[in-house]
Amino acid sequence: MIELKDVSFSYDNKLIINNLSLNIKKGDKIGIMGESGCGKSTLLRLMAGLYRTDKGTVTVDGESDPQDISRKVSVVMQSPMLLPLSIYDNITMGHKYPDSHVEKVVKMARLSSWIETLPEGIHTYLGDRADELSGGQAQRIAIARAMCKNSEVLLLDEPASALDSENSASVLEAIMEYATDKTVVHVTHQAKHLEGYTKIYVLRNGELA
Protein backbone atom coordinates (compact mmCIF):
# COMPACT_ATOMS: atom_id res chain seq x y z
CA MET A 1 0.00 0.00 0.00
CA ILE A 2 2.76 2.46 0.99
CA GLU A 3 6.39 1.91 0.02
CA LEU A 4 9.34 4.20 0.70
CA LYS A 5 12.50 3.04 -1.05
CA ASP A 6 15.89 4.62 -0.26
CA VAL A 7 14.26 7.98 0.47
CA SER A 8 16.40 10.99 1.38
CA PHE A 9 15.27 14.57 1.95
CA SER A 10 17.14 17.71 3.00
CA TYR A 11 15.94 21.10 4.14
CA ASP A 12 18.23 24.15 4.11
CA ASN A 13 21.16 21.83 3.38
CA LYS A 14 20.37 19.76 6.49
CA LEU A 15 19.70 16.06 5.93
CA ILE A 16 16.31 15.26 7.51
CA ILE A 17 15.50 11.83 6.05
CA ASN A 18 18.46 9.55 5.36
CA ASN A 19 18.14 6.71 2.83
CA LEU A 20 14.98 5.46 4.53
CA SER A 21 12.99 2.43 3.36
CA LEU A 22 9.63 1.28 4.71
CA ASN A 23 6.82 -1.01 3.57
CA ILE A 24 3.33 -0.58 4.97
CA LYS A 25 0.64 -3.09 4.10
CA LYS A 26 -3.01 -2.35 3.48
CA GLY A 27 -4.85 -2.04 6.78
CA ASP A 28 -1.71 -1.57 8.90
CA LYS A 29 -1.77 0.94 11.74
CA ILE A 30 1.74 2.40 11.95
CA GLY A 31 2.98 4.75 14.65
CA ILE A 32 6.11 6.87 14.25
CA MET A 33 7.65 8.51 17.31
CA GLY A 34 10.64 10.75 17.82
CA GLU A 35 11.86 13.92 19.43
CA SER A 36 10.61 17.31 18.31
CA GLY A 37 12.34 18.37 15.11
CA CYS A 38 13.49 14.86 14.18
CA GLY A 39 11.61 14.91 10.87
CA LYS A 40 8.37 13.08 11.71
CA SER A 41 6.17 15.68 10.01
CA THR A 42 8.53 15.82 7.03
CA LEU A 43 8.26 12.06 6.61
CA LEU A 44 4.47 12.29 6.72
CA ARG A 45 4.48 15.06 4.10
CA LEU A 46 6.59 12.87 1.82
CA MET A 47 4.02 10.07 2.19
CA ALA A 48 1.24 12.57 1.45
CA GLY A 49 2.82 13.81 -1.77
CA LEU A 50 3.27 17.28 -0.28
CA TYR A 51 7.08 17.10 -0.61
CA ARG A 52 9.22 15.58 -3.34
CA THR A 53 12.12 13.37 -2.35
CA ASP A 54 15.72 14.39 -3.07
CA LYS A 55 16.47 10.74 -3.65
CA GLY A 56 14.46 7.52 -3.71
CA THR A 57 10.77 6.89 -4.31
CA VAL A 58 7.49 7.05 -2.42
CA THR A 59 4.68 4.88 -3.76
CA VAL A 60 1.12 4.89 -2.42
CA ASP A 61 -1.38 2.39 -3.83
CA GLY A 62 0.67 2.12 -7.02
CA GLU A 63 1.10 5.88 -7.52
CA SER A 64 4.50 7.59 -7.29
CA ASP A 65 3.80 11.07 -8.66
CA PRO A 66 3.19 13.43 -5.70
CA GLN A 67 0.04 14.94 -7.25
CA ASP A 68 -1.43 11.46 -7.78
CA ILE A 69 -0.43 10.42 -4.27
CA SER A 70 -2.22 13.44 -2.77
CA ARG A 71 -5.48 12.23 -4.31
CA LYS A 72 -5.06 8.84 -2.64
CA VAL A 73 -4.62 9.99 0.94
CA SER A 74 -6.36 11.98 3.66
CA VAL A 75 -4.14 14.08 5.91
CA VAL A 76 -4.59 15.73 9.31
CA MET A 77 -1.72 18.08 10.12
CA GLN A 78 -0.90 19.38 13.57
CA SER A 79 -1.75 22.98 12.58
CA PRO A 80 -4.54 22.59 10.02
CA MET A 81 -5.33 25.33 7.54
CA LEU A 82 -8.91 26.57 7.53
CA LEU A 83 -10.29 28.57 4.62
CA PRO A 84 -12.55 31.67 4.82
CA LEU A 85 -15.60 29.53 4.15
CA SER A 86 -18.34 27.90 6.19
CA ILE A 87 -17.64 24.94 8.46
CA TYR A 88 -19.51 22.77 5.94
CA ASP A 89 -17.32 23.96 3.06
CA ASN A 90 -14.15 23.50 5.11
CA ILE A 91 -15.18 19.89 5.67
CA THR A 92 -16.39 19.04 2.15
CA MET A 93 -13.84 21.20 0.27
CA GLY A 94 -16.17 21.72 -2.68
CA HIS A 95 -17.02 18.04 -3.14
CA LYS A 96 -20.56 16.70 -3.15
CA TYR A 97 -21.26 14.28 -0.32
CA PRO A 98 -24.59 12.95 0.96
CA ASP A 99 -25.83 14.92 3.97
CA SER A 100 -25.91 11.69 5.97
CA HIS A 101 -22.20 11.18 5.33
CA VAL A 102 -21.31 14.71 6.42
CA GLU A 103 -23.46 14.37 9.53
CA LYS A 104 -21.74 11.08 10.37
CA VAL A 105 -18.19 12.47 10.17
CA VAL A 106 -19.18 15.60 12.12
CA LYS A 107 -20.46 13.36 14.89
CA MET A 108 -17.39 11.12 14.78
CA ALA A 109 -15.07 14.14 14.99
CA ARG A 110 -16.94 15.26 18.13
CA LEU A 111 -18.10 18.51 16.50
CA SER A 112 -21.86 18.18 16.89
CA SER A 113 -22.28 19.79 20.30
CA TRP A 114 -20.26 22.87 19.36
CA ILE A 115 -21.89 23.28 15.94
CA GLU A 116 -25.35 23.20 17.54
CA THR A 117 -24.46 26.34 19.51
CA LEU A 118 -23.58 28.37 16.38
CA PRO A 119 -26.07 30.79 14.79
CA GLU A 120 -26.14 29.00 11.42
CA GLY A 121 -24.96 25.61 12.54
CA ILE A 122 -22.65 23.82 10.15
CA HIS A 123 -23.16 26.59 7.60
CA THR A 124 -21.69 29.21 9.92
CA TYR A 125 -19.09 31.24 8.03
CA LEU A 126 -15.59 31.03 9.46
CA GLY A 127 -14.11 34.02 7.65
CA ASP A 128 -14.50 36.29 10.65
CA ARG A 129 -14.35 33.49 13.20
CA ALA A 130 -11.32 31.40 12.18
CA ASP A 131 -9.02 33.34 14.49
CA GLU A 132 -11.48 32.83 17.34
CA LEU A 133 -11.50 29.04 17.05
CA SER A 134 -9.58 27.02 19.58
CA GLY A 135 -6.83 24.76 18.33
CA GLY A 136 -8.99 21.78 19.25
CA GLN A 137 -11.93 23.02 17.18
CA ALA A 138 -9.68 23.56 14.18
CA GLN A 139 -8.19 20.08 14.57
CA ARG A 140 -11.63 18.48 14.79
CA ILE A 141 -12.72 20.26 11.59
CA ALA A 142 -9.58 18.91 9.90
CA ILE A 143 -10.35 15.41 11.19
CA ALA A 144 -13.91 15.64 9.86
CA ARG A 145 -12.49 16.82 6.50
CA ALA A 146 -10.18 13.79 6.34
CA MET A 147 -12.99 11.41 7.27
CA CYS A 148 -15.28 12.98 4.68
CA LYS A 149 -12.74 12.36 1.90
CA ASN A 150 -12.80 8.70 2.98
CA SER A 151 -9.45 7.70 1.45
CA GLU A 152 -7.94 4.27 1.98
CA VAL A 153 -4.89 5.91 3.58
CA LEU A 154 -5.11 8.22 6.61
CA LEU A 155 -2.02 10.22 7.63
CA LEU A 156 -2.04 11.86 11.06
CA ASP A 157 0.37 14.43 12.45
CA GLU A 158 -0.36 14.90 16.17
CA PRO A 159 -4.12 15.10 15.42
CA ALA A 160 -5.09 15.62 19.07
CA SER A 161 -2.24 17.87 20.23
CA ALA A 162 -4.56 20.81 20.92
CA LEU A 163 -7.08 18.77 22.91
CA ASP A 164 -7.13 17.99 26.61
CA SER A 165 -6.66 14.40 27.74
CA GLU A 166 -10.35 13.52 27.88
CA ASN A 167 -11.19 14.99 24.49
CA SER A 168 -8.05 13.66 22.82
CA ALA A 169 -8.87 10.13 23.99
CA SER A 170 -12.41 10.48 22.65
CA VAL A 171 -11.29 11.85 19.27
CA LEU A 172 -8.52 9.26 18.83
CA GLU A 173 -10.99 6.50 19.66
CA ALA A 174 -13.33 7.88 16.97
CA ILE A 175 -10.50 8.00 14.44
CA MET A 176 -9.64 4.35 15.05
CA GLU A 177 -13.30 3.38 14.82
CA TYR A 178 -13.53 5.17 11.47
CA ALA A 179 -10.24 3.72 10.20
CA THR A 180 -10.85 0.06 11.07
CA ASP A 181 -10.27 -1.12 7.49
CA LYS A 182 -7.94 1.71 6.43
CA THR A 183 -4.18 2.14 6.43
CA VAL A 184 -3.06 4.62 9.09
CA VAL A 185 0.28 6.33 9.71
CA HIS A 186 0.30 8.42 12.89
CA VAL A 187 3.29 10.52 13.95
CA THR A 188 3.39 11.65 17.56
CA HIS A 189 5.66 11.97 20.59
CA GLN A 190 3.06 10.41 22.90
CA ALA A 191 3.17 6.63 23.09
CA LYS A 192 -0.28 6.50 24.72
CA HIS A 193 -1.80 7.72 21.45
CA LEU A 194 -0.55 4.60 19.66
CA GLU A 195 -2.17 1.85 21.72
CA GLY A 196 -3.32 -1.01 19.51
CA TYR A 197 -1.16 -0.06 16.52
CA THR A 198 0.40 -2.76 14.33
CA LYS A 199 3.95 -1.42 14.63
CA ILE A 200 5.64 1.55 16.27
CA TYR A 201 8.87 2.98 14.88
CA VAL A 202 11.24 5.60 16.28
CA LEU A 203 12.70 8.17 13.88
CA ARG A 204 16.24 9.17 14.84
CA ASN A 205 18.97 10.76 12.71
CA GLY A 206 16.75 10.42 9.66
CA GLU A 207 16.35 6.66 10.07
CA LEU A 208 13.65 4.38 11.48
CA ALA A 209 14.22 1.84 14.24
Residue 172 belongs to domain with CATH number: 3.40.50.300
Bridge partners, residue 55, by sequence = 8
Q: What percent of the chain has pLDDT over 90?
A: 71
> What's the pLDDT tens digit per position in 159-172?
888 777 778 888 89
Domain count, the chain: 1
Whole-prediction pTM = 0.92
Q: Phi and psi for 154 in degrees, rounded to 5? A: -120, 120
Q: What is the mean pLDDT of residues 25-46?
A: 94
- Distance between CA atoms of residues 27 and 128, nearest Å: 40
Domain limits for position 89 = 2-208
Q: How much is the mean pLDDT over the chain?
A: 92
Higher pLDDT, 39 or 130: 39
pLDDT for res 168:
82
**Residue 85 carries which DSSP code?**
S
Sign of CA dihedral 144, 179, 39, 163: positive
